[in-house]
Amino acid sequence: MVDNYVDDEQISETPPYSGQVSEFLKAGRVNVTVISKAKAPPEQNHFKVMLELTGAEIGKDRLGVDIVTVLDVNSMAKKDKKLDKMKSAMKFMIKKLSPIDRLSVVTFSTLSTKRKSPLLAMADQSKSRIENLVNDLEVEVESTEITVADGVTAGLRTALQVLNDRVHTTRRVAAIMLVMCNCDLKSDIRNVVQVPDINVPVYTFGLGRIFDEKVLYHITNKSPGGIFSVADVKDTPLSSSLSLAFSQCLAGLLTVVVQDLKLTITSVNSKIEKVSAGNYIQYANNDVGSLTVSFGNLYREEKRNVMVELLLPAVDTQAVTEVLKIYYSYNAGEYFFQEEKPLITTITRMETLNEEEPEKVTIEDARLRTITTIVEATDAADFGKFDEAQDKIVEAQNMLEDVVDQPEQSIEMLKYELYELIKLMQSQDIYTSLGRAFALAVQTSHDRQRFATRGAATRNLRTFATSFMDNYLFFFW
C-alpha cells in the first residue's frame, strides 16, 4: 500500500441544483414529529415519548457520491459464477451513477489487495474505463499465509485510505460497499472489527451461502450507518440478485438529504430513564440531563424513530408541565443547520385519565420487543438450541397478534420476518447455510432503521425501504 492517495478526480459537472440554497432548504431537510399521550397522572409514573425524524423531499438538489467498492476475488468466487455476478452488479452501478459521482475499485484475496482505480468522476470516458477494468477482473489463487479475515481487513483499510486522502470533499457523500463470497471458518472476527476509525458507512454484502456473515455484520456495526445485506446466488428473472442488492444501497446513497444528523433531548421536570434508537452512538450529559444521538446520513423519506422513556415525579396540583426539550442539527452539503428554538413536549398532570398510548407508540414498542426476541432466538440458534429459538419466535408471533386491531404495514412486515426466521431455524444445516445470515440482516436493518436485502425474501420484505428504492426494484421483477 502506498503512503497516501491524492489522485481523486475533480468534478467538472454542475450539480443538479442552481442558485443559492435557500434558508428553507437548509432548515427544511428533516421533519421532527413528537408523539405521546397528552396526559399523565399526578403520582410518580413512567411515560413514553416517541420522536419521529423524517428525511424531507428536496427536489433536484442532491449531493455527489464517492463510492469505493471492495470486491472478493478469492478462488471461491468462481463457484456459482460469483465473479460474474459481481461484475454484473458493478456494471449496473456504473450505469446509474452520474458525472457528479465518483467510483473507485479495490479487490482483495488471501493473496493480495489492489486498488484498481482512483476515484473517477463517472462521465462517459471514465465509465468505459471502469467497466473495462471490471470485465478484466479474475479470481486469484488462494494463499495459506493470509486468512480471509486478513484479506477483508486489508481491503477495508485500502478503501478507507482512498476516501480519507481525498482532496475534493465538498458536497459529497462517502461510502464503502464490500462484497464477500468466500468462507473461512477459522477467520478471527477481531482481525476485522479492530480496524480503526471507520468514519464512513460500510455496506457489506454476503454473496451466496458460504461467507462469514458475522465478520460482515461486525464491520457494519463498527461503521456509522452501514448495513449488512444478503444476496442469493440464484438469479432473478432479469439480473443477478447482487445487482438488486447494489441497487437498493445505491438508491439510498443517491438520496442523502442530510449528513451528520444529531438529535439532543433534555429532560425538564422529568428524568430520562432509557432512549431506544437502535445502535447509533449516544452521548449522555448527566450534568444537564441531556442525551445526544448521532445518526449520520439520512435518506429522502427515511425515518428514525426514537423512543424516550421518562420517569415523571409526583406533583401536588393539576398543571401543564414541560417534560422534554428537543434540539437537532445536521450538515446540508457545505451548510450547517442547528435548530435554535427547541421543540418542547408538554403534558397535563391530572387525576382522571382514560387515554391509551398513540398507535405509533404501541407499534414502535412492539417492534423493539420483537427485535429483542429475534436477538435472543439467534443467540439460542448459535448454540444449537433450535427448539428454544423457535419457541421464542412463536412467542413474538403471538405478541404481534394483539398489537393492532386492523392490518398495519410495519406489523405485517414483522410477522413476515418471523415467518421466514422460524423456517430457517429448523436445523443446523438450514441455519448455517441461510438462517444466521438472514437473522443478522434483520438485526442490522432494525438496528439502523435502514433497508437491507434479505435474499429471496427481498421482494416481499420491504421494511424501511423508501419509494426511490421501490422504483429501483422495478428493474429486477
pLDDT digits (tens, 9 = 90+) for 340-384: 889 999 999 988 777 899 999 999 999 999 999 999 999 999 999
Tens of pLDDT, residue by residue over 253-304, are: 999 999 999 999 999 999 999 999 999 999 998 888 899 999 999 999 999 9
Assess whether 142 and 39 both reside in one domain: no
As a whole number, the mean pLDDT across the chain is 88
pLDDT for res 93: 95
Q: What is the pTM of this model?
A: 0.93
Q: How high is the pLDDT of residue 195?
A: 60
Using one digit for the tens of pLDDT, what is the confidence trace for 452-475? 998 777 888 899 999 999 988 766
Which pLDDT tens digit goes with each residue over 188-247? 444 554 565 789 999 999 887 767 788 889 899 989 999 999 987 554 444 468 889 999
Q: Say what angle helices 386-400 and 359-382 make with each other, to 10 degrees.
A: 170
Name which residue leads in pLDDT, 132 or 216. Answer: 132
Number of alpha carbons in the 13 Å side-chain half-sphere of residue 43: 3
Q: How far apart (Å, rounded) are the C-alpha atoms in residues 138 and 128?
A: 18
DSSP 128-173: HHHHHHHHT---B---SSS-HHHHHHHHHHHHHHHHHT-S--TTEE
Q: Are 409 and 276 in the same domain?
A: no
- Which residues does 23 contact at the CB level (< 8 Å), separation at least 6? none
Separation in Å, CA 297 to CA 265, 276, 442 = 19, 18, 20
Q: Which residue range(s) make up the domain with 424? A: 356-477
Tens of pLDDT, residues 68-104: 999 998 866 566 678 888 999 999 999 999 999 999 9
- 264 with 310, same domain: the answer is yes
The answer as to whether 1 is a domain residue is no
Domain boundary among 232, 254, 276: 254
Do 304 and 238 share a structural domain? no
In a domain, 28, yes or no: yes
Q: Which residues pair with 39 in a beta bridge?
A: 348
Q: Is the pLDDT of residue 130 over 60?
A: yes
Q: How many domains does the chain have?
A: 3
Here the CATH number for the domain that contains residue 284 is 2.60.40.3670
| Mean per-residue pLDDT, 148-177 | 90
Residue type, 210: I
Residue 247 shares a structural domain with residue 342? no
- Residue 5 included in any domain: no
Q: Are residues 207 and 71 in the same domain?
A: yes
Based on the fold, state whether residues 471 and 381 are members of the same structural domain: yes
Around Cβ 129, how many Cβ atoms within 10 Å? Answer: 13
The better pLDDT of the pair 78, 21 is held by 78
- 94 with 179, same domain: the answer is yes
Residue 22 reports pLDDT greater than 50? yes
In a domain, 147, yes or no: yes
Write out the DSSP string of 202-236.
EEEEEESS-S-HHHHHHHHHHSSS--EEEE-SSPP
Cβ-contact 30, 258 below 8 angstroms: yes
185 pLDDT exceeds 50?
Answer: no
